[in-house]
Structure 1
Amino acid sequence: MAIDNNNPLEQQNNPEPNGSNSEASTRRRKKPRRDGKGSNTQTNNATAKKSAGKTKRSGKGADTGSQVLATTAIDPNLALGDAADDAAAYAEGGIKAVGDQRIIPFMKIEKPMGILSIILVIGSIIAIAVNGLNLGLDFTGGVSADVRYEQSVEQGDVVNALADNGFDDAVVQYLGTSQELLIRLPPQSDNIDGLNTSLSEALALPNNNVEISNVNIIGSQVGNEVYLSSVMSIVLALACMLGYVALRFQFKLALGAVLSLFHDAIVTIGVFALFGFPFDLTVLAAILALIGYSLNDTIVVYDRIRENFRRVRGISPRQTIDLSLTETLRRTIMTISTVLLVVLAMLFLGGDGLFWFSAALFIGLLAGTYSSTYIASSIPLAMGLSRDDFIVKVKPEFEEEIVTFNDPKMFEQD
């Protein structure tokens, strides 16, 4: 006891020096342990309970005193902060979710977004039907020539030289270096020899000799075959995506994913038809790449939706989807930001060869991010997506059968 009485910490915690040994030992055991064992939270809770008991014995104001003491024993600002956060969340229409994760009510505006999507799709279809696509030489046919200069040359100089000699609407692309170019022209005469002579004269630049290595004439029939093959490739890609998502997740989600991919593709094509932008194989490649990117973004959201339907209890399907979209929002923002930086770099620095490819990707990325959030998630919700779609149910033949055995002899009297 001499050691305990000389300990200033013990004297501070035990103001009654004449107290009993059992009470002092009890107080020492409830102090936070210094060897790392035990929990400060448990100690604070025990202290709060003990103080609450003393307050109740004191009579008036017992409940109020115990609540304040229990709160300050853990964290003075914790309860007040949570109450303020909850009040602000409910005022804004949000709710508290798992792990104090704040849910953003994305599905609160699903109907206006759905109406906007319908308007965009209908407008794109009308633009394609009325204006048509400004098909490039890959689809309409024309002349393709491989050209090599002795020195580096600018694409704009070659286009201007061709236009001055009667070759309008020429498309010039680099082939590896700034000296080798691919030139594509609208349909010309079928006389290859005369075409070579005309091109050689048109491509001649001051102090820079030119050599035409190869000239190909692409007929309109070949262009139509390429056009049909392109349409079939898009349809086949959407069908494969439908099958993959249906097998990997659920058919309701698969239908939402395919409709969102169709939305992205048709809106991008509709913008090209509305403004008369040239549509060639590079734009088609951008649309196919867009379908793959948009599906990857949708799969990430679907995986989180499936996980939350299985592990979260007590919330509605709408809140589950809102929670999933909130949890993947940071990843979506980071992904679209990095991809858009690359696309904008190609758009402004990639030259004429990558300009329309980058423009198609830019339009499609904006539409794809929007569709992954609303179209791909709201359509399954409208179809009645629920937790039962992701829980493995026991088949009737594997359920245990309850058998009751009644022996008539048990009720017979001896």
Structure 2
Amino acid sequence: MLLKYWPEQTNLKFMNLRLIGAMVSALMIAASVFFLGTRGLNFGVDFAGGTVMELEQTDTITVEAVRAAMPLSAEVNSAVGTDARSIVVVKFGEADPAALGEAFQALPPAEQAERATGATNELVVRVLKEALGISDDQFLRNDSVGPKVSSELFRDGITALVVALVLMLAYIWFRFEWQFSVGAVAALAHDVIITLGVFSLLQMEFNLTTIAALLTIIGYSMNDTVVVFDRVREEKRKYKKMPDRQVIDLALNSTLSRTLLTSGTTLLALLAIFFLGGPVLRGMSFALIWGILIGTYSSIFIASSIVLALGMDLNKKPVEDVQGFQGAP
């Protein structure tokens, strides 16, 4: 019903605001680099190594009781699981070798480094069972990642992001022109850097699901940018003598309703996941929500502005008229 209130034609001068958009983006990128350099990312167990346990919360298994029983420093919090049950979430790294027993200390250093995570996990499980009487069924989750595996996961995640950017560059270059590929990839890099900066600022957990969210953001933003670029090319070939600035504004206005409707409906679903999906999905859903907002912004003010700055030279390619269905005589 709200569609009838949307104007059939808009005439917003987006490119008149491109310098303001460039300054806003430059400030956000500078702030993101600053936060990444000073605060860093709050790596989850996937990348930092360690263990995450989830325990069924009962009258005896509480945050205070678990925190008091832990044999090493740990982060203990309450949360709501995906099945709406109250749980206790425990996160910890490797214990001091002295706490793992003489047999562990007698191992060679290389073997100690390899077994430390597993030995710490066994120690914590044993202590919690003895102190709180926890059964195996009450350990809802018990995931451990060693330092070697975590470093490999981080490297593979970053590699996936870089490969995605390179493939997008090649695709847009093949699909359009090199000016469009530069604008698209610059917008994608802009989205990823600022999203990482937000995660650094808020110190939200950065793990494999966040990498998956970043890859999704790249795909979503690229889809939005391709729609705009395709309309830009269409309008440029239709109005060959129209200035590039007016062509891009015309294309952006003609795709604006589609962009807002697609982003809006997607945001409604993601907001539901963010508020109702529990802590496990909160980081990923937040990354997607922010990514859609910043991706929509970059498609309009970053990708299109770069194409305008580099210029379009589409008229050198002849446009063939394809005869369609003419109807009955």
If the length of structure 2 is used for normalisation, what is the TM-score?
Answer: 0.77
1:104 pairs with one of 8, 12, 15: 12
Alignment correspondent of 2:215: 288
Per-residue Cα deviation, 1:162-218 (whole angstroms, up to 9, x for no partner): 33433632588888756798966221344354332123356757xx98444885542
Residue 185 of structure 1: SS of its match in structure 2? strand
Query: Are 1:139 and 1:223, in contact at CA under 8 Å, matched by a contact in 2?
Result: yes
Among candidates 210, 219, 228, match of residue 301 of structure 1? 228
Q: 1:163 aligns with which of 44, 67, 74?
A: 67
2:274 and 2:68 mapped to 1: Cα distance?
A: 27
Q: How far does the alpha carbon of each residue in 1:231-275 deviate from its partner, in whole angstroms, 9 at most, with x for none?
A: 111111101111111111111101100000111110010011123
Instruction: Tell me the residue number matched to 2:23.
Output: 115
Cα deviation digits, residues 82-110 of structure 1 (max 9, x gap):
xxxxxxxxxxxxxxxxxx95532110111
Q: Given the superposition, is the C-alpha separation of residues 363 and 164 from structure 1 closer, same or farther in structure 2, using an over 3 Å criterion?
A: farther
> Cα deviation per residue 1:325-348 (whole Å; 9 max; x = unaligned)?
000000011011111111111111
Structure 1 position 287, deviation (Å): 1.2
CA distance in structure 1 between the partners assigned to 2:210 and 2:155 by the alignment: 15
Indicate how the Cα distance of structure 1 residues 195 and 263 shifts in structure 2: closer, same or farther if over 3 A, else same.
Answer: same
CA distance in 1, matches of 2:150, 2:51: 12
AA matched with 1:277: M
Task: Indicate the SS of the match to 1:124.
Answer: helix
Report which of the two structures shows the higher radius of gyration computed on alpha carbons.
Answer: 1
Instruction: Give deviations 1:285-316, integer Å, cap 9, x for gaps.
Output: 21111111111111110111111111224411
Mapping 1:251-290, distance limit 5 Å: 251-290=178-217
1:32-70 deviation per Cα after TM superposition (whole angstroms, max 9, x unaligned): xxxxxxxxxxxxxxxxxxxxxxxxxxxxxxxxxxxxxxx
Query: CA shift at 1:360, angstroms?
Result: 1.4
Q: 2:128 aligns with which of 199, 215, 223?
A: 199
Give 2:175's match in structure 1, choosing from 230, 241, 248.
248
Letter in 1 for 2:93: P
In the alignment, the residues of structure 1 paired with residue 154 and residue 66 of structure 2 have an alpha-carbon distance, to the nearest angstrom, of 27
Matching residue of 1:129: 37
* Alignment-mate amino acid for residue 233 of structure 1: A
Cross-structure match for 1:320:
247
CA distance in 1, matches of 2:172, 2:162: 16
Q: What percent identity do the matched residue pairs reach?
A: 35
Task: Check conservation: 1:175, 1:182, Cα contact below 8 A.
Answer: no
- Contact 2:80–2:279 (Cα < 8 Å) also in 1: no
Deviation at 1:221, TM superposition (A): 1.9
Letter in 1 for 2:282: F
2:50–2:146 Cα contact (<8 Å) kept: yes
Where 2:20 maps in the other structure, the secondary structure is helix
Mapped to 1, the partners of 2:131 and 2:14 lie a distance apart of 58
Alpha-carbon separation, structure 2, partners of 1:379 and 1:171: 46
The residue correspondences of 1:172-251 to structure 2 (distance < 5 A) are: 177=83, 185-189=91-95, 190=116, 191=119, 192-201=121-130, 210-212=137-139, 217-251=144-178
Q: Following the alignment from structure 1 to structure 2, what is the Cα–Cα distance between the partners of residues 298 and 306?
A: 12
Q: Distance in 2 between matches of 1:249 and 1:138?
A: 38
Question: What secondary structure, in the 3-state scheme, does the structure 2 residue paired with 1:392 have?
Answer: coil
**Change in CA separation of 1:201 and 1:349 when aligned onto 2, cut-off 3 Å:** farther
Label 1:136 to 1:171 Cα distance change in 2 as closer, same or farther (>3 A).
farther
* Pair 1:371-2:279 in alignment: no
Provide the rounded CA distance (Å) in 1 between the counterparts of 2:78 and 2:168. 35
Q: Go from structure 1 to structure 2 and tell me whether the alpha carbon gap of 1:300 and 1:160 turns closer, same or farther (over 3 Å shift).
A: farther
Distance 1:195 1:211, change over 3 A: same
2:308 to 356, 381, 385: 381
**8 A Cα contact 1:141 1:186, kept in partner:** no
Write the distance in 2 (CA, Å) between the matches of 1:271 and 1:384.
32
Distance 1:202 1:270 in 2: 41
Query: CA shift at 1:388, angstroms?
Result: 2.5
Query: What is the distance in 2 between the residues matched to 1:160 and 1:328?
Result: 54
CA distance in 2, matches of 1:374, 1:324: 13
Gaps of at least 5 residues in structure 1 are: 1-99, 395-414
Aligned length: 286
Superposed counterparts of 1:335-350, under 5 Å: 335-350=262-277
CA contact (8 A) 2:78 2:88 kept: yes
CA distance in 2, matches of 1:172, 1:221: 29
* Contact 1:146/1:180 (8 A) holds in 2: no
Task: Give me the TM-score of the superposition, normalised by structure 1.
Answer: 0.62
Give the root-mean-square deviation of aligned CA atoms.
Answer: 3.1
**Distance in 1 between residues matched to 2:282 and 2:240, nearest whole Å:** 49
CA distance in 1 between partners of 2:143 and 2:216 (Å): 28
Deviation at 1:277, TM superposition (A): 2.0
Structure 1's 119 and 168: CA in aligned 2 closer, same or farther, altered over 3 A? same
